[in-house]
């Protein structure tokens, strides 16, 4: 029996879903170029893990590789495979390292693990010796995150290795825990400790700065910076104006406009009560589309807002799986109709602003979007 041909996307696919997520690839490229300028003369890589922070790892990688990005960081070997399909000559580092089971794929893809423990280093050394492979690996040192990485003492003890032939260390790196918090004392301690360790690894390229770290000055830049969230529009300098361009627009289709009498409630749990005769729109977007439930509104807590007919309008009640209600009472009569759209991110609402209303950070918002929305990539 012949297999059925895969169905092609219809020309009007945007109208077959309740939500649309539009991703501006030109803005991602512009953000990378701006970060590269901020990093002065050091190399600017790109972190494209978590499916390019939800933006699509293949189109993001292709865009940045064309712009001149030569080094990419991913979470796992499956993501490395997707990056390699769009960047044939790039250097790819896998942040969660390798296991004995995944090690052969590093040769297949010409990717490099980030070694995060002495046990992992021993396993990697045994593997590359058996395969006579010289692809290299990064060595991560824990300078205060207390997450992944060898200790500073282990790094010091291991340093003589770099004086030997075929030592296999192509990058020395660490990760800042509080770079986005101005003058946090841990950041200064991490910078100082990494400087000491870096001095023991002379000749090995080093990387410390994430998105926010790029804005902390020359002492953090080292040889390679690795921005992530800032590429996708998250503000790397909280408390100051965002130097990054917005990348995403999230819109939902309005299904219905309805009237609600005073003292009637909206949605699950009856958590939001109309204080006056109100007009409510119901939008075909919910937490299954990445519209975080924590952005809901109740009588005691304002939630997020959406732009409708050019004006910000507040969410009314709990966000459900497929639907969200918006209070449009303050809009002129007849300003909104069935089939219009509500914009939750974009049109003046940044990803950080929406995240704050949801009690989270832009990183989580971005990586949750697009699970069910129609995706549009622009500026490719």
Q: DSSP for 136-159? A: -EEEEB-SS--SSSB-HHHHHHHG
Please report, for residues 140, 162, 206, the alpha-carbon distance to residue 165 in angstroms, rounded to integers and kept in the order given.
Answer: 20, 8, 19
Do 212 and 318 lie in a common domain?
Answer: no
pLDDT value of residue 1 = 46
Marked catalytic residue, from 49, 93, 201, 287: 49
> How many domains does the chain fold into?
2
Do 83 and 213 lie in a common domain?
Answer: yes
Enumerate residue ranges in the chain where pLDDT < 50.
1
The SS3 call for residue 335 is: coil
Do 115 and 225 lie in a common domain?
Answer: yes
176 is written with which tokens?
A: 């800042």
Residue 268 annotated in active site: yes
* Interatomic CA distance for residues 13 and 290, integer angstroms: 19
Q: Is residue 30 part of a domain?
A: no
Q: Is residue 191 part of a domain?
A: yes
Q: Is residue 71 part of a domain?
A: yes
**Residue at which a domain ends, from 183, 202, 232:** 232
Do 204 and 256 lie in a common domain?
Answer: no
**Global pTM exceeds 0.75:** yes
Q: What percent of the chain has pLDDT over 70?
A: 96
Q: Is residue 356 part of a domain?
A: yes
Q: Is residue 4 part of a domain?
A: no
**Residue at which a domain ends, from 232, 263, 290:** 232
Do 252 and 215 lie in a common domain?
Answer: no
What are 244-274's pLDDT values in tens digits? 999 999 999 999 999 999 999 999 999 999 9
What are 146-171's pLDDT values in tens digits? 999 999 999 999 999 999 988 999 99
Q: Is residue 7 part of a domain?
A: no
Q: Is residue 309 part of a domain?
A: yes
Marked catalytic residue, from 66, 70, 268, 275: 268
Strand partners, 272: 266
Q: What is the CATH number of the domain that holds 255?
A: 2.40.37.10
Do 228 and 253 lie in a common domain?
Answer: no
* Interatomic CA distance for residues 161 and 167, integer angstroms: 6
Instruction: Please list, in sequence order, all residues whose beta carbon lies within 8 angstroms of the beta carbon of residue 240, skipping any fewer than 6 positions away.
Output: none
Do 124 and 70 lie in a common domain?
Answer: yes
* Interatomic CA distance for residues 103 and 99, integer angstroms: 6
Do 189 and 47 lie in a common domain?
Answer: yes
Strand partners, 264: none
Residue 93 annotated in active site: no
Do 300 and 259 lie in a common domain?
Answer: yes
pLDDT value of residue 166 = 87
Q: Is residue 340 part of a domain?
A: yes
At residue 36, φ and ψ (nearest 5 deg) are: -65, -40
187 is written with which tokens?
A: 């950041």
Domain that holds residue 359: 248-378
* DSSP class of 245: P
Do 63 and 175 lie in a common domain?
Answer: yes
Q: What is the CATH number of the domain that holds 164?
A: 3.20.20.10
Give CA angle at 285 (283, 288), nearest 5°: 155
Do 293 and 333 lie in a common domain?
Answer: yes
* Interatomic CA distance for residues 265 and 292, integer angstroms: 21
**Residue at which a domain ends, from 208, 232, 256:** 232
329 is written with which tokens?
A: 């009472």
pLDDT value of residue 288 = 95
Do 191 and 290 lie in a common domain?
Answer: no
């Amino acid at each position: 029996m012949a297999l059925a041909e895969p169905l092609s996307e219809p020309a009007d696919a945007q109208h077959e879903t309740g939500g649309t997520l539009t991703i501006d690839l030109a803005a991602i490229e512009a953000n990378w170029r701006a970060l590269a300028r901020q990093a002065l003369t050091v190399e600017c890589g790109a972190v494209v893990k978590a499916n390019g922070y939800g933006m699509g790892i293949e189109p993001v990688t292709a865009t940045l590789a064309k712009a001149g990005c030569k080094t990419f960081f991913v979470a796992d070997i499956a993501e490395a495979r997707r990056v390699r399909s769009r960047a044939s000559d790039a250097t790819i580092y896998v942040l969660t390292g390798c296991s004995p089971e995944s090690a052969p794929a590093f040769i297949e893809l010409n990717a490099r693990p980030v070694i995060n423990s002495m046990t992992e280093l021993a396993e990697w050394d045994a593997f590359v010796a058996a395969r006579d492979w010289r692809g290299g690996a990064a060595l991560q040192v824990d300078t205060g995150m207390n997450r992944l990485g060898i200790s500073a003492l282990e790094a010091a003890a291991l340093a003589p290795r770099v004086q030997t032939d075929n030592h296999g260390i192509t990058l020395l790196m660490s990760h800042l825990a509080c770079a986005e918090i101005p003058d946090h004392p841990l950041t200064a301690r991490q910078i100082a400790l990494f400087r000491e360790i870096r001095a023991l690894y002379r000749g090995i390229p080093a990387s410390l700065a994430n998105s926010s770290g790029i804005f902390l000055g020359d002492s953090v830049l080292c040889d390679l910076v690795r921005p992530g969230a800032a590429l996708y529009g998250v503000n790397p300098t909280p408390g100051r104006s965002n130097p990054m361009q917005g990348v995403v627009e999230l819109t939902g289709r309005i299904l219905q406009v309805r009237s609600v009498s005073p003292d009637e409630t909206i949605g699950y749990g009856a958590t939001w009560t109309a204080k006056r005769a109100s007009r409510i729109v119901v939008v075909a977007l919910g937490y299954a589309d990445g519209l975080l439930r924590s952005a809901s509104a109740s009588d005691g807590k304002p939630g997020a807002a959406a732009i409708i007919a050019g004006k910000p309008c507040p969410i009314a009640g709990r966000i459900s799986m497929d639907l969200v209600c918006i209070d449009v009472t303050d809009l002129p009569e007849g300003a909104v109709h069935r089939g219009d759209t509500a914009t939750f991110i974009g049109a003046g609402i940044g990803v950080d602003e929406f995240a704050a209303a949801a009690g989270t950070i832009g990183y989580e918002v971005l990586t949750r979007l697009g699970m069910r929305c129609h995706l549009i990539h622009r500026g490719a």
